[in-house]
Amino acid sequence: MAVNSNILSVVFLSLTFVACTSNFEDTNTNPYGVTDDDLAQDNLIVGGYFTQLQQYIYTIFSDLQVEQNLVGDAFAQYTVTPSPYMSNRNNLTYKFVWYSKRWDNNYSYVMPVVLNFKLLGFDQEYPNFYAWAAILKILSMHRVTDDYGPIIYSDYGTSSTTINYDSQKTVYYSFFDELDSAVTTLGSYSTQSTSVFKKFDLAYGGNVSKWIKAANSLRLRLAMRISKVDPEKAQIEAEKAVDQSYGLIESNSDNLMIALNSYVHPLWTISNGWNECRMCATMGSILGGYNDPRLSVYFTPATDSLVAGKYTGIRQGIEISSKSTYVNFSSIGSMYETTKFVQIMTASEVAFLRAEGALRGWNMGGTAGEFYNQGIAFSLAQYSLSNNYNSYINDSTSTFSDYTDPKNSANNFTKSSSITIKWDENAVSEEKLERIITQKWIALFPDGQEAWSEFRRTGYPKLLPVVVNYSGGTISSTEFVRRVPYPDDEYLTNPYGIEGGLILLGGADTGGTRLWWDKGGGNF
């Protein structure tokens, strides 16, 4: 979807509900209506869009199925669908069917809003809201570039017939600069009443200090993402995040969780409403092998007669004869029916980021082992499982488990790793990294988008190759899928722009081309 003046016109029309009275004479103004002055006084003129900006970080609507559940969640091997869509020729077998929704949503509901804040002068009139919007934009747009690679960013909103792409390096550097500005601005508002943001804030009840912590934590996430391709910049940004005076997300009370309000968690709808999402066998292998207490929180036992009462998943990338074959395998846990939030970033993730940073020799404020155990503690506490902490972190024998498919033995696999849980200070760096990322992968659930990105960056946890591969040779089964293709509309509406984007990508527009920060696993 090319971004042009037509889109801007649509967005300006969408803004008229807050601006329509500004040019009317008094005789044309409804004395009982809401005026611009009323809206400005209540901050609704700008704050009214923040629900939308927050809800599209992790899409809380049914769009999540094709935006993430059949993309990042599947490629991270968290969940898979029991349905043999397109005669098994779909994303799960590397024949892309769903790949445009994240692009479409973010260029429809995120980028236009922030652009128009700028065009309407809100960056000057409401600098605190504009800084908050910048953080929310980065939380969404880093997922876009991590899906596709080079994206439309600095050239967004131009009226040119060709909309240029930015390299992923340029986009990431822009993220860091924008976070600098946002954190500085919000810092000057951190003591203000929470009532300014409160009515628009789905996470922190208007607490500006907590949003600064979230921004610092986001910086640390992005810094780690580029650690292999740009280690010097990564270290600078990571240490800046840790050293910032407001700190990071360091307790579960500071977790960035977006309120669902009246909505049900979309994973529950997809899994238990539509029966289109089941546990991946890899998840069963890892959590089952570790006797991990989170398994019974994340998923429910199978009801299929062959495995009834057991936590049994479906291997990703297999031939499925009909939906009925695997539909009664383990589905999403019941907590997702009643939860009031979607998870964006947690203290557990931040601890694992600091563990890896310390492992790389960066100043993270502690040792890799300390932060590793802290990450596990935060994750268990998040689900009221702290009583399991001591036995879990001292388990030096449990490993991944083998998998037997009771429907088709061709899908069986032996465990992909023998990595154990207990931290070993004498282990080599690569083994330590595998421990950190494996536990991080467990704790990140259900955010498969982030887990998939970390797998591509590190190669951990060790996932299973697909059994059938319908990519036509564009994706290696042993190298796994590395990205998603650009939306078809870009070729129709922005042909010269995407041509430049492909040059920046440095490879074909297929799932086998690596992104800038993706240097593959191993070789710590």
The answer on pLDDT for 130 being more than 70 is yes
* pLDDT for residue 465: 98
**pLDDT one-digit tens code per residue, 241-273:** 999 999 999 999 999 999 999 999 999 999 999
- Ranking 27-31, 38-42, 221-225, 338-342 by mean pLDDT, the lowest is 27-31
* pLDDT for residue 5: 36
Mean pLDDT of 213-218: 98
The DSSP string of 134-174 is HHHHHHHHHHHHHHHSSBS-TTTT--SSS---B-HHHHHHH
* pLDDT for residue 160: 87
Query: Who contacts 314 (Cβ-Cβ below 8 Å, separation ≥6)?
Result: 80, 82, 278, 279, 280, 281, 320, 326, 329, 405
pLDDT greater at residue 156 or residue 30: 156
Name the pLDDT band for 8 (thresholds 50, 70, 90): very low
* pLDDT for residue 522: 66
The answer on pLDDT for 41 being more than 70 is no
Q: Give me the helix-helix angle, 429-444 and 448-458, nearest 10°.
A: 170
Which percentage of the chain shows pLDDT scores above 70?
92
* pLDDT for residue 11: 42
Mean pLDDT of 37-61: 85
Mean pLDDT of 502-517: 98
The answer on pLDDT for 276 being more than 50 is yes
Name the pLDDT band for 520 (thresholds 50, 70, 90): confident
Name the pLDDT band for 29 (thresholds 50, 70, 90): very low
* pLDDT for residue 21: 25
Return d(Cα 452, Cα 316) in angstroms, integer: 14
* pLDDT for residue 395: 98
Mean pLDDT of 290-296: 98
> What average pLDDT is seen over the chain?
92
**Domains and their CATH numbers in the chain:** 5-26+35-265+336-505 (1.25.40.390)
**pLDDT one-digit tens code per residue, 335-391:** 999 999 999 999 999 999 999 999 999 999 999 999 999 999 999 999 999 999 999
* Exposure string over 482-514, b if 16+ CB within 10 A, otherwise e: bbbbbbeebeebbeebbebbbebbeeebbbbbb
Mean pLDDT of 84-92: 98
**pLDDT one-digit tens code per residue, 415-462:** 999 999 999 999 999 999 999 999 999 999 999 999 999 999 999 999
